[in-house]
């Protein structure tokens, strides 16, 4: 029995009974995200072959240069969610504003989806892992009302489900509906995501730290002290520059990921809605912790705008606690202690 392959679709359907209000809608939505992930995976895999590679002459709403595959992944996710019938609107890192999706067959959809269609896109041209990140919220507006910004400005604690896909040496989809974390590896020979990482739990402590150490001199004193400590403790530094890939390593092997404020990004670089919240949800569900550099829990931050950025520190619980102590010891400001 245990050697039997369990596909993502089968797993999602089995898990449907975990929800008191289970009606199959969330199940359908997760399956549609799985389909979109396979389509994006197909294109990412052949990125070196086709003329889809390269930088598009435009910037996204956060001002970063957009790669062509970003736009492709964005469009595929929107198309899959548009056909799903379970999603009434999406907000993406690649769109300035949220996009409302008309009802399919007059059925009012209950969910909104936020996503970073392609995370780590500067890595595409050099054949290094990239990812997709998503989060699902129940809409706050009435089922038949117009979708409003507040449907998206929900705290991470309100997430119904979240996950990521890593397009790496193999393609893995990891998700949680608030009841643990499971990972599925794509078997390209049958085109199915198969359960490969059951009930992922992050080690309480680990041997890796992940931060862009090139910005060391731009970090605040307490962060520099903590990074010195990591280095002194012989932790191994790993920084891919795709948040999904860096977090995936830490989730499986234990460690700490940091993206603090710098002079260029005084509020941090990573986006609260599309990157920080979904990955913090996964991290906490796996037994880890996720806070900002003011020591507030990421999932309790109040979002004020779609493209809001945040500082972030997440990973093994004991290591995040240790980092907190450094901030409390060396910070000149009084942090929000959690
Ligand atoms: P994206 O490709 O979606 O814009 O995200 C890139 C992000 C994140 O994946 C990564 O952790 C970070 O940017 C890397 O930033 P630096 O190059 O400043 O370290
Ligand atoms: Mn990203
Ligand atoms: Mn992106």
- Residue 68 binned pLDDT confidence (cut-offs 50, 70, 90): confident
Ligand closest to the CA atom of residue 124: 1
Best residue among 237, 241, 290 to mutate for probing ligand 1's pocket (most ligand atoms within 8 Å of CB) is 241
Residue 52: predicted pLDDT? 55
pLDDT over 80 at 146, yes or no: yes
Distance 77 CA to ligand 1 centre (A): 20
List the catalytic residue out of 25, 32, 246, 275.
275
pLDDT of 72 higher than 80: yes
Contacts for 33 with CB less than 8 Å, ≥ 6 apart: 77, 80, 81, 113, 134, 163
Known active-site residue 93: yes
Which residue has better confidence, 45 or 52? 45
Contact 273, 303 (CB under 8 A): yes
pLDDT digits (tens, 9 = 90+) for 155-212: 999 999 999 999 999 999 999 999 999 999 999 999 999 999 999 999 999 999 999 9
Mean pLDDT along residues 71-90: 95
| Dist. CA 125–CA 107, nearest whole Å | 42
Measured by CA distance, the residue closest to atom 15 of ligand 1 is 241
Higher-pLDDT residue of 13 and 136 is 136
Active site residue 97: no
What integer pLDDT is reported at residue 138 of this predicted model? 96
- Could you tell me which residues are beta bridge partners of residue 321? none
State the pLDDT at residue 95: 98
Residues having C-beta closer than 5 Å to ion ligand 3: 93, 116, 118-119
Residues 6+ positions from 268 with CB-CB distance below 8 Å:
259, 260, 261, 292, 293, 309, 310, 311, 312
Mean pLDDT across the chain, nearest whole number?
92
333 CA distance to ligand 1 middle (Å): 27
- 64 catalytic? Reply is yes
Residue 25's pLDDT is what? Answer: 86
Strands 236-237 and 208-210: parallel
* Active-site residue, selected from the candidate residues 86, 119, 151, 246: 119
Per-residue pLDDT of 231-266, as tens digits, reads 999 999 999 999 999 999 999 999 999 999 999 999
Could you give all domains of the chain from N- to C-terminal order, each with its CATH number? 8-197 (3.30.540.10), 208-330 (3.40.190.80)
Residue 65, pLDDT above cutoff 80: no
**What confidence score (pLDDT) does residue 106 get?**
87
Task: Please pick, among 25, 32, 86, 93, the residue that the annotation labels catalytic.
Answer: 93
Is the CB of residue 41 less than 8 Å from the CB of residue 171?
Answer: yes
**What pLDDT sits at residue 17?**
73
Ligand 1 site residues, Cβ closer than 6 angstroms: 64, 93, 116, 119-121, 212, 241-243, 269
Statement: residue 54 has pLDDT above 80: no
Which ranges of the chain would DSSP assign to H, the alpha helix?
Answer: 8-15, 25-45, 68-84, 221-232, 243-253, 277-285, 317-330
């Amino acid at each position: 029995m245990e050697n039997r392959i369990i596909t993502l679709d089968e797993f999602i359907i089995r898990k449907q009974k975990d929800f008191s209000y289970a009606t199959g809608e969330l199940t359908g939505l997760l399956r549609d995200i799985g389909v979109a992930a396979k389509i994006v995976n197909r294109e990412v895999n052949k990125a070196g072959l086709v003329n889809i590679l390269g930088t598009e002459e435009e910037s996204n709403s956060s001002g970063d240069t957009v790669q062509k595959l970003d736009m492709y992944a964005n469009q595929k996710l929107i198309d899959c969610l548009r056909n799903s019938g379970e999603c009434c609107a999406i907000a993406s890192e690649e769109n300035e504003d949220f996009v409302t999706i008309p009802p399919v067959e007059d059925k009012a959809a209950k969910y909104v989806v936020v996503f970073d269609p392609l995370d780590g896109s500067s890595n595409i041209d050099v054949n290094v892992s990239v990812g997709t990140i998503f989060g699902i919220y129940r809409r706050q507006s009435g089922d038949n009302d117009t979708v409003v910004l507040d449907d998206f400005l929900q705290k991470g604690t309100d997430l119904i489900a979240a996950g990521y896909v890593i397009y790496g040496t193999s393609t893995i989809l990891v998700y949680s509906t608030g009841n643990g974390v499971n990972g599925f590896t794509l078997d390209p020979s049958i085109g199915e995501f198969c359960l490969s990482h059951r009930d992922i739990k992050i080690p309480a402590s680990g041997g890796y730290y992940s931060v862009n150490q090139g910005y060391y001199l731009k970090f605040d004193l307490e962060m520099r002290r903590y990074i010195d400590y990591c280095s002194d403790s012989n932790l191994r530094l790993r920084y891919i520059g795709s948040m999904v890939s860096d977090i995936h390593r830490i989730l499986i092997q234990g460690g700490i990921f940091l993206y603090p404020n710098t002079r260029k990004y005084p509020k941090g670089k990573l986006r609260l809605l599309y990157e920080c919240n979904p990955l913090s949800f996964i991290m906490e569900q796996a037994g880890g912790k996720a806070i900002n550099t003011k020591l507030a829990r990421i999932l309790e931050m109040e979002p004020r705008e779609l493209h809001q950025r945040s500082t972030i520190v997440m990973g093994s619980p004991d290591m995040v606690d240790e980092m907190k102590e450094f901030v409390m010891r060396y910070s000149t400001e009084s942090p929000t202690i959690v």
